[in-house]
Every structure is written in C-alpha cells, then in structure tokens.
C-alpha cells in the first residue's frame, strides 16, 4: 500500500486512546462503511495501517435516475478502496431506505411532526441492514462518525467525541447494545482538522472534500420535495397566534417545523416562531420566543444506550438535547409506564418538537435517546 506516506503510526501523532483502539483490532476482519468522503476513507486507511484485515461496504440508497443520486460518492469510494488495496462491496438498501427514511420524513411533516431522518438512517440502515451484511464476513464494523465507544465491564457505552463541533452522538443515540458491541468509531478521538491532515498525509485525495448534507435524498427545498410527492394538491391552512387571531395563510403543514421563524409570511415588527402544528385542521400556531419555552415534556420509544433502563417510578438526573448541535441542558428523567417525563432543572428548554429525538447525557456519556411525544 504505497500511498501511505507515513512509515509508521508514530508519524501520524495519534492520541494514545485512539492508538489502543486501532491496535486492538490488529489481525481482525473489519468492515468499514465507506461513503467516499474524507471521514470514512480516513477510517479505512487507519485501520488498514494498524494491521486490520479491512474491507469496505458502500450503500446504494437511491436509484440512478433520482435527481439526488450521488454518482461521485460511489466513484470516490471505489478510488479509495483501490488505493488501499481493499475489497469494496456495494449493498442495495434502496427499498428499506425508501420505507424507513424517505417515507418517514414525508409522513412526519404531513402529520405536523418534525423528523430527523439521520436517526432512522443510522438505526435501520447504517447500523441495521448494512452492518448486518458487513458482519457476515467481518468481526467488527467501523464508521467515520465522530463519537467514542468502549466496554466498561458491564455495558458497551457511547460517548461524545473530542471534537464537540462534530459531535454526532445525537443521531446515534438510538443505537442498541448489540450495535455498539461490534462498532468502532476511531475518529471520535481526534478533531476533524486532524482527520483532514491524516487523509492528506496518507495520499487519499479526499482531504479537501466538502461535508456531506444531512438531507442526502432531497434536491431543492423540503417544501418542493414533499409537495411534488404529494401531487402538489391543495394543503392550505391558517397561520394564527395563540389567541386565535388569523395572521396569514399557508400552503401546507409540511412547510413548517417547531421553532421556525423564516418563511411565515407574517408582517410586523415582532418576530414570530412556530409554536404548534395541527395537521388535521391545517392550523399553524405561532408565538413569541418565550411562548416556546417548556419546563417539561414527554418522550416515548426510549433506548438506553449506555446504562440499565429505568424502572417505573425511578428518576435519573441528566442533560438533555432536543435537536442536533444544541448545548445540553440540565434535566431529570422520570420513568412512567410506557413513557417518561423530562423535567427541566434550572432554565426551561426552547422549541421542543414532537417527532424529533431527545438525547440524554451525563457529561460525555450518552445515556440514551427517545422520541419526543409533546
């Protein structure tokens, strides 16, 4: 593998905990989810350099005729695999991607909910069918996500990465113990800047590649994407304030998300934010910033990533996040029968959106995740 310009791992100046992780799979078979980007490419190269028996797996999510089909991603993955001298398998996940990600995305917005399609994509696709395929011939499954994971003697735990600006644990908070037990996240131990430097040193030719987009299957606007797939039928409704006063008309509840300020079409000097969405009546309720503050909310479908599940009546202190890249806020989880209540400690939380995921932390430790009910 002559593309490697560094003669040894020492020349890469990797942190000790990252080196231990890489060396722990020396001689083991490791499948790497390769998107063709700098993160997954660097992950594969580091594992190869550390002595793992590496192969790549690339998922095909959209048909070639789709306007958002990314031909460059597959070609880049093939080039990197060739440079590394590893096998690359393509895995057709189009059917389940359409069901679990695209359909979920459209249905959620049409029902007045706010989805995060990256969560089910990780849960059902990347760490679901793609991981299952990879583990048929490999011991471990690695990705380029910025997160950390290890076994603490009782459970496999998920932790926030060194680079807080690239923290992806929010969208990984629904991963189960089975998933974490076979997963490797080498890049969680270094900043993104270091990843690009390593890719350049190793001659991967993807070190300057742009970041991938969260809505990889949407070309254009969310409004246009969903509207076209719903036949652009009339989905008009009213935009009202909390007192019931009509402020404007809209073209469909799929155009809105809780906390949204732009694109409301409301005149006036005071800012308005989407407070609630009633899909049945088509009403979108707006309010002031303070009207979106909450002292508590409910969650369901709870996944406990790193700790034992709470029993009914038990309480746990935590920090909570209700959208990607927000700062965690102090709260308590009170487990009830079939759902949990999240009570804020200190300051209230803003713009809690039903349908979104809430992730729970204790410092760097990811306790788990759940679906916001309201």
What pLDDT does 269 receive? 74
Integer CA distances (angstroms), 154 to 121, 187, 310, in order: 27, 24, 16
Find out whether 25 and 47 touch, Cβ atoms under 8 Å. Answer: yes
Please tell me which residue, 209 or 156, carries the higher pLDDT value: 156
- pLDDT digits over 96-118, tens only? 999 999 999 999 999 999 999 99
- Which residue has tokens 């996240």? 185
Domain 9-145+185-201: which CATH class? alpha beta
From the list 167, 192, 149, the residue with the least C-alpha distance to 38 is: 192
pTM, rounded to two decimals: 0.94
Q: Does residue 1 carry a pLDDT above 50?
A: no
What pLDDT does 240 receive? 95
Q: At 91, phi and psi to the nearest 5?
A: -120, 120
Which distant-in-sequence residues (6+ apart) come within 8 Å of 155 by Cβ?
A: 177, 306, 307, 308
Cα(first)–Cα(last) distance of the chain, in Å? 53
Distance (Å, whole) CA 153 – CA 322: 30
For the chain, which residues make up each domain, given as ranges? 9-145+185-201, 234-291, 293-372
Local structure of 233: helix, strand or coil: coil
CATH number of 234-291: 2.30.30.280
What pLDDT does 232 receive? 62
Q: Strand pairing of 140-142 and 29-33?
A: parallel
Task: Find the radius of gyration of the CA atoms of the chain.
Answer: 22
What pLDDT does 206 receive? 85
HSE value, Cβ hemisphere, 13 Å, CA-based, for 47: 32
How many helices (H) and strands (E) in the chain? 10, 19
- Which residue has tokens 């990600």? 101
Of 121, 234, 236, 318, which one is the catalytic site residue? Answer: 121
What pLDDT does 35 receive? 95
Integer CA distances (angstroms), 168 to 110, 173, 188, in order: 27, 9, 9
Give the DSSP per-residue string, 10-21. GGGT--HHHHHH
Mean predicted lDDT score pLDDT of the chain: 93
Find out whether 340 and 367 touch, Cβ atoms under 8 Å. Answer: no
From the list 177, 160, 123, the residue with the least C-alpha distance to 307 is: 177
Local structure of 93: helix, strand or coil: coil
- Cα 139 versus chain centre, distance: 24
**Structural tokens at position 332:** 């308590």
From the list 19, 17, 105, the residue with the least C-alpha distance to 61 is: 105
Distance (Å, whole) CA 99 – CA 116: 14
Name the CATH topology of 293-372. Answer: Elongation Factor Tu (Ef-tu); domain 3 (2.40.30)
**Identical fold at 9-145+185-201 and 234-291?**
no
Please tell me which residue, 67 or 360, carries the higher pLDDT value: 360
Q: Does residue 72 carry a pLDDT above 80?
A: yes
Crossing angle for the helix pair 103-110 and 222-229, to the nearest 10 degrees: 100
**Structural tokens at position 64:** 């070639």
Local structure of 269: helix, strand or coil: coil
Q: How confident is the model at residue 2 (pLDDT cuts 50, 70, 90)?
A: very low
Q: Does residue 208 carry a pLDDT above 90?
A: no
Of 216, 236, 255, 318, which one is the catalytic site residue? Answer: 216
Does the annotation count 121 as an active-site position?
A: yes
Distance (Å, whole) CA 206 – CA 121: 24
What pLDDT does 53 receive? 97
What pLDDT does 81 receive? 96
Does the annotation count 318 as an active-site position?
A: no
DSSP 205: S
């Amino acid at each position: 593998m002559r593309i490697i310009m560094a003669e040894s791992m020492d020349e890469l100046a990797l942190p000790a905990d990252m080196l231990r992780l890489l060396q722990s799979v020396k001689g083991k078979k490791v499948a790497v989810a390769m998107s063709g980007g700098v993160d997954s490419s660097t992950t594969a190269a580091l594992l190869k350099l550390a002595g793992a028996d590496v192969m790549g797996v690339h998922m095909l999510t959209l048909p070639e005729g789709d306007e958002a089909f990314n031909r460059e991603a597959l070609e880049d993955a093939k080039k990197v695999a060739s440079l590394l001298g590893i096998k690359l398998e393509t895995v057709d996940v189009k059917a389940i991607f359409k069901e679990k990600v695209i359909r979920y995305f459209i249905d959620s917005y049409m029902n007045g909910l706010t989805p995060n399609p990256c969560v089910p994509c990780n849960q059902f696709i990347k760490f679901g069918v793609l991981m299952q395929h990879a583990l048929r011939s490999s011991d471990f499954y690695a990705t380029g996500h910025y997160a950390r994971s290890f076994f603490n003697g009782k459970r496999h735990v998920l932790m926030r990465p060194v680079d807080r600006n690239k923290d992806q644990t929010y969208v990984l908070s629904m991963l189960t113990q089975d998933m974490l037990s076979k997963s490797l996240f080498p890049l969680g131990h270094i900043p993104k800047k270091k990843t690009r430097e390593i890719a350049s040193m190793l001659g991967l030719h993807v070190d300057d590649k742009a970041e991938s987009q969260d809505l990889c299957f949407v070309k254009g606007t969310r409004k246009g994407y969903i509207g076209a797939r719903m036949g652009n039928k009339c989905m008009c409704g009213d935009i009202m304030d909390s007192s019931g006063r009509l402020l404007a008309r809209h073209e469909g509840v799929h155009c809105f998300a809780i906390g949204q300020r732009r694109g409301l079409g409301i005149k006036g000097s005071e800012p308005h934010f989407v407070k609630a969405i009633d899909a049945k009546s088509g009403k979108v309720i707006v309010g002031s910033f303070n009207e979106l503050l909450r002292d508590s909310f409910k969650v369901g479908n709870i996944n406990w990533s790193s700790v034992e599940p709470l029993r009914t009546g038990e309480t746990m202190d935590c920090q909570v996040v209700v959208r990607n890249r927000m700062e965690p806020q102090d709260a308590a989880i009170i487990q009830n029968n079939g759902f949990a209540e999240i009570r804020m400690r200190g300051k209230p939380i803003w713009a809690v959106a039903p349908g979104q995921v809430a992730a729970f932390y204790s410092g760097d430790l990811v306790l788990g995740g759940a679906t916001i009910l309201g």
